Amino acid sequence: MMQIILENMVFTSYHGFYDEERRIGNEFRVTVTLELDELLSVKTDNLEDALNYEMVYNVVKAEMRTPSRLIEHVAQRIVDRLLKTYPLICKATVSLSKMNPPLGGQVEKVTVVTSGENENK
Q: Catalytic residues, which ones?
A: 98
CB atoms within 10 A of CB 16: 21
Counting Cβ atoms within 10 Å, is residue 24 exposed (0-12), middle (13-18) or buried (19+)?
Answer: exposed
Separation of first and last alpha carbons in the chain: 12
Q: Which amino acid is at 54?
A: E
- Alpha helices, DSSP H, located in the chain: 19-24, 41-44, 53-64, 71-85
